[in-house]
Amino acid sequence: MDDGTKLKETFFALGLSGANVTVPHKEAAFAACDEVRGFAKEIGVVNTLVNENGKLIGYNTDADGFMYAISEFTNLQNILIIGAGGTAKALAAKFLQEGLSVTVLNRSEGRLEYFKSLGTKCFDWKNFKLEKYDLVVNTTSAGLKDEELPAPQEMIEQILENSRYVADAIYGKLTPFLQLAQQKGLHYKDGADMLLGQGVLANEYFTDFQLNKEDIKRAMQQSFAL
């Protein structure tokens, strides 16, 4: 679906009981809901929709799914998020809740106001100041359908040379961003584990918590292998 404004109409027209929402419609999903609950309410971003007695209820499982995905990354303190969309909002808020230092880098300054209100460090490509990072996360769509990097190559090279871990929200493809991380010998993850983690949590909502988390995880892992 290309038109996010028709999300609610389409959801009920298809007779769905639940659905996941991906970029670029997560903020439109928030606006479409009759009620938003939990973490999604804090950040204004919805990735999980549930039909509850004819009402569209919104949740966000991105952040907890991501934390699940990077559980093996240890001693995280300083995080750089590249991008300023819905996924970036969820991760920034979650990292701050965990007591971590967060920097957000976006192409332009226009979408950074939310992150400034959270208290993160914010930069655009023109004023970026490099630091050392424990983890760098690409939340942009760069590399999804092209060979683009999420920022100018020289900037990305410098960032990776000053980072310990790297993650990309894109899954099913070794993006140019992750290829550079691989070349530099960095420990990296694509978005597959994040997708799995958020999907397990989303399916708990879909089934009204009637299924065991491990059973959902096992079924999802089997579907990924198909």
Pseudo-torsion of CA 177, 182, 183, 185, nearest 10°? 130
Q: How far is CA 4 from the centre of its chain?
A: 18
Question: 181: phi > 0 → left, psi -120 to 50 → alpha, else beta; which?
Answer: alpha
Report the sign of the C-alpha dihedral through residues 45, 68, 219, 192, in that order.
Answer: positive
Q: Which of 6, 8, 26, 217 is catalytic?
A: 26
Q: Omega of the bond prior to 24 within 30 degrees of 0, cis?
A: yes
- Residue 88 φ/ψ region, left for φ over 0, alpha for ψ in the -120 to 50 degree band, beta for the rest: alpha
Q: Is 173 a catalytic residue?
A: no
| β-pair partners for 55 | 52
Give the catalytic positions in this structure.
Answer: 26
